[in-house]
Amino acid sequence: MLKISSKALSIQASPTLAITAKANQMKAEGKDVVRFGAGEPDMDTPDYIKAAGIEAINKGFTKYTPSAGIMDLRKAIAEKLLRDNGISVEPSQVVVSNGAKHSIANVCQALLNEGDEVIIPAPYWVSYPEIVKIAGGKPVIIDTDEDDGFRIQPKRLEKAIGEKTKLVILCSPSNPTGSMYNEAQLRELAEVLSKKDVFVLSNEIYEKLVYGVKHVSIAALPGMAEKTITVNGMSKAYSMTGWRIGYAAGPAYIMKAIDNLQSHAASNPVSISQKAALAALKGDGVQLEAMRAEFQKRRDLMVKKLNEIPGVTCSMPDGAFYAFPSVKAHFGKSFGGKTIKNSTDFSSLLLDAEQVAVVPGADFGAPEYIRLSYATDMASIEKGLERLKKFCASLENAPAEAPAA
């Protein structure tokens, strides 16, 4: 029998989708499942954005566009980057894609040769290592500590950069931890990176969902513009996950290569969605701020209640819409005769016992943690965390293993 490629065989399915699928199946069976796995806002896309998409359809804007996106949208993105991020690029240095994930894949395909190493701080978004491997690169995972806010430290970064290092991936605010780098911390990293012959991919998809802190783009810092590709999109800030619009901006020669790649791989981003994205960027931001404020209330409630559960500890995230608590105090305990050895066991038993869906941290390179999304209503947060508290209280110390004969 003919075999598929070794590259395809090496790629793991998105593990976050597996627990979501199981939770959805339980929901379909009529079970009252509280789902904390969502990686998307629960609010609807604002009406003015939807209206722009409808208008595009009604006016027949349903054909191919330039592969890098319509010029009006690329101009609006360049203006946004200068206004909000201090990043100065020409519209020709912007490529619009079918979501930020697509943009990240484009960057990796454009930059990596077989065997090039890519530094990825852990905890990391589950797709980073797989996207790197698809592009022929080798993920190099660098652990971070909760005591340091899950931020990679300059000395550790400098030590990790070797002869084969081609790219460093940063995500601020982070999925899954919600942590972010302030300007001083980014300057310390930039001081290391500016001396090294490496590129930086800065994923800033959660930049508008920050709480009491200022978002800073590393590309705006001295010496970083010529080696940084900034990735962002419409999904999180504007609740447009299904519209599939992301973008990347960086040095002209890299963006030209990405445009060429995309022209063959996807032709162009969705025409209708581009018009909706343009409307979003031209909006007054009132609904965006209302959504951000609502997420902050949910964050405060979730973290407070998590820290009230014995054996669970959770740092306060700076941004995004995830809490990332440690549950390692419950490892070695048992439920229903099954011993909890890691966060995957914990998450699976929690779903079965209390019908609460969370994502195990092992999938993010942090096996002692679980990820909960607060992109859900307050009532569900209250109910789900009460069930989590009940589950933790029901755990028993596992019986000691009998000594070998």
Residue 399 lies in a domain: no
Residues sharing a CB contact under 8 Å with residue 14, sequence separation 6 or more, in sequence order: 126, 127
Q: Which alpha helices (H) appear in 269-377, and where do they start and end?
A: 271-282, 286-306, 343-354
Tokens of 200: 């930086």
**What's the pLDDT score for residue 403?**
43
Give per-residue pLDDT as tens, 151-202: 999 999 999 999 999 999 999 999 999 999 999 999 999 999 999 999 999 9
Q: Let me know whether 230 and 346 are in one domain.
A: no
Closest CA relative to residue 108, chosen from 259, 226, 280, 258: 258
Residue 35 domain boundaries? 6-44+287-393
Q: Rounded to 5 degrees, what angle do the CA atoms 281, 265, 248 make?
A: 30
Q: Let me know whether 24 and 99 are in one domain.
A: no
Residue 404 lies in a domain: no
Give per-residue pLDDT as tens, 275-296: 999 999 999 989 999 999 999 9
Q: SS3 of 34, please? A: strand
Q: Let me know whether 112 and 149 are in one domain.
A: yes
DSSP E strand stretches across 123-212 = 138-143, 165-171, 199-203
**What's the pLDDT score for residue 398?**
61
Residue 133 lies in a domain: yes
Residue 82 lies in a domain: yes
**What's the pLDDT score for residue 404?**
46
Phi, psi (rounded to 5 degrees) for 63: -105, 180
Cα dihedral 314, 317, 323, 326 sign: negative
pLDDT-derived band of residue 15, with 50, 70 and 90 as boundaries? low
Q: Let me know whether 110 and 254 are in one domain.
A: yes
Give per-residue pLDDT as tens, 70-107: 999 999 999 999 999 999 999 999 999 999 999 999 99
For helices 286-306 and 378-394, give the axis angle rounded to 10 degrees: 20
Name the domain count of the chain. 2
- Bridge partners, 169 (sequence order): 201
pLDDT-derived band of residue 16, with 50, 70 and 90 as boundaries? low
Whether the Cβ atoms of residue 270 and residue 276 lie closer than 8 Å to each other: no
